[in-house]
Structure 1
Amino acid sequence: MDDIDKGILRVIQEDTRTGYQEIAKRLSIAPSTVHFLIKKLINMGVIERFSAILNLEKMGYMTIAWIGLSCDPDKIDSVADILASFDQIQMVCTASGDHDLLIQIVAKNEKDLWRFINKNIKTISGVEKDFDVSCFLDVYKKTNSIVV
């Protein structure tokens, strides 16, 4: 990846709506070059997808939480697959430390979060009884951007 590729990535990390013309202008290259390089970065798997970042509060999701789960070691993959199928769950990861899996989940409020946990998570075969829930309070930084 060269400096032009990195420049394109920096611009689209700021705002994915930035058009080829504007990117080309900022990087002093032709719009057709921007188009070609973005296609190349997609084909390489560097860019996985373009998506909108929604304001969760304005969408009515007032509760965001991390849940740490311990699982039967033989069922970690199947539990993770089941968890990943729920729309409310934004991220499912295996983890080192106190828990086998960490998940990030959004809910309308804390009551809906607990209902979801009791109805959908506790009932999964392989999930052990002990788990930790940490609800987000104030978010000081949230980004998917990385240093390019």
Structure 2
Amino acid sequence: MRDEQMAGSGARPPARPLDDIDRDILRILQADGRASIRSVAESVHISRANAYARINRLIDDGVIRGFSARVDQERAGQGASAYITLKIVQNSWRSVREKLQELPGATHIALVSGDFDVLLLVHTEDNRALRELVLTRLQSMEEVLSTRTLLVFEETDLQESQGEL
């Protein structure tokens, strides 16, 4: 398929294969999205120009979708966290996803298989706000058939727990 046809159809070109250096660069940037080109290059034993080109290619290819800060939700005033499972009306995923993205505190949304259809991670100020979100906001969505709330007692960020590179 020609590039113009692919662009018009919304299809993306196939991803280029990643080599060990690309994977090392990804690991470094996942641990520290603010790592300098120089430090990345030194860590993977390539030139700064090569590191810069590889990172830009990973961005252009959509492998790297962005850079963000990892937030300690509790220290940021979000004392209650929960995974919420949802059963939804068949073929309503797109509209449900749009509504869930607008929820305050929603940080991860996944369409999944199994006993439920959607897995939602939320962080709220406290249990009262969590109850309001579930009972008022989620259960009032006409596409949502049922919910189950799993409170998070403790979290571990695996990228942080793997230590310094």
**Which of the five TM-score ranges fits, normalised by the shorter chain?**
0.7 to 0.9
Once the two structures are superposed, the pairs formed by residues 12-31 of structure 1 within 5 Å of their partners are 12-31=29-48
TM-score when scaled to structure 2? 0.79
Amino acid at match of 1:142: D
Give 3-state SS (helix, strand or coil) of 1:73's partner.
Answer: coil
CA contact (8 A) 1:68 1:103 kept: yes
Q: After TM superposition, list the pairs within 5 Å mapping 1:1-148 onto structure 2.
A: 1-128=18-145, 130-139=146-155, 141-143=156-158
Change (3 A) 1:26 1:144: closer
Paired AA for residue 94 in structure 1: L
- Distance in 1 separating the partners of 2:81 and 2:118: 17
C-alpha deviation, 1:117, in angstroms: 1.6
CA deviation after TM superposition for structure 1 residue 85, in Å? 2.3
The one-letter amino acid paired with 1:134 is L
User: AA paired with 1:118?
Assistant: L
Please tell me whether the aligned partners of residues 80 and 101 of structure 1 are also in contact (alpha carbons under 8 angstroms): no
How far, CA to CA, are the matches of 2:108 and 2:32 in structure 1?
22
The CA deviation string for residues 64-117 of structure 1, in whole angstroms up to 9 with x for no partner, is: 101111122143332222112224111222222221211111101111100112
Please, what is the CA RMSD of the aligned residues? 1.7
Q: In the superposition, relative to structure 1, how do residues 89 and 2 fare at CA in structure 2: closer, same or farther (>3 Å)?
A: same
Looking at structure 2, the residues matched to 79 and 65 of structure 1 have their Cα atoms a distance apart, in angstroms, of 18
Q: Partners of 2:65 and 2:159 in 1: how far apart? A: 12
Higher relative contact order, structure no. (Cα contacts within 8 Å, ≥ 6 residues apart) = 1
> What's the offset of the Cα at 1:144?
6.0
